Amino acid sequence: MGTFNLNKVVLTAAIVDVSTAGQVYIPIPEEFDGEVVEIRTVLNGAIGTADAVITPKIGGVAMTNGAVTVAFSGSAAGDVDTSRPSGANAVAAGGSIEIETGGASTNAVSLFVTVVIKR
């Protein structure tokens, strides 16, 4: 049986259309203070024209090394991409994490985001 790490918690969000510029916000629950250590995305279909760049932010400030690039070339449902933020990644209960998409790609495809917080 695998081990369960209580020092890490996971929050999720969905971007309905990664090809449309915009953002979603993930609220930080009580006792979830910590640092964002990983952002993982999974695509729900193929995007076209250009890569989709996902920028995570806290208080309007982009996390250092936090951007996730979802490549359009060869993209397909189930593609997973990851980043490991190294700065500007501290979160506090009652705050939020902004997940922004630039809207450069085409095709109306959803993207699911998982944020790992180390407490």
- Structural domain contains residue 43: yes
Q: Per the structure, how many domains does the chain have?
A: 1
User: How far apart, in Å, are the Cα atoms of 9 and each of 13, 77, 114, 115, 116?
Assistant: 14, 25, 10, 8, 6
Question: Contact 11/32 with Cβ under 8 angstroms?
Answer: yes
- Structural domain contains residue 45: yes
Instruction: Tell me the two tokens of residue 68.
Output: 């996730």
Residues contacting 43, CB < 8 A, separation 6+ = 18, 70, 75, 76, 77, 78, 79, 80, 81, 109, 111
Domain containing residue 59? 9-118
Q: pTM (2 decimals)?
A: 0.92
pLDDT of residue 6: 76
Question: Tens digit of pLDDT per residue, the chain (119 long)?
Answer: 566 667 999 999 999 999 999 999 999 999 899 999 999 999 999 999 999 999 999 999 999 999 999 999 999 999 999 999 999 999 999 999 999 999 999 999 999 999 999 99
- Structural domain contains residue 32: yes
- Structural domain contains residue 1: no
The candidate with the shortest Cα–Cα distance to 79, out of 65, 88, 68, is 68
pLDDT of residue 52: 98
pLDDT of residue 3: 66
Q: How many CB atoms lie within 10 A of CB 109?
A: 21
The residue type found at 36 is V
Question: Contact 79/43 with Cβ under 8 angstroms?
Answer: yes
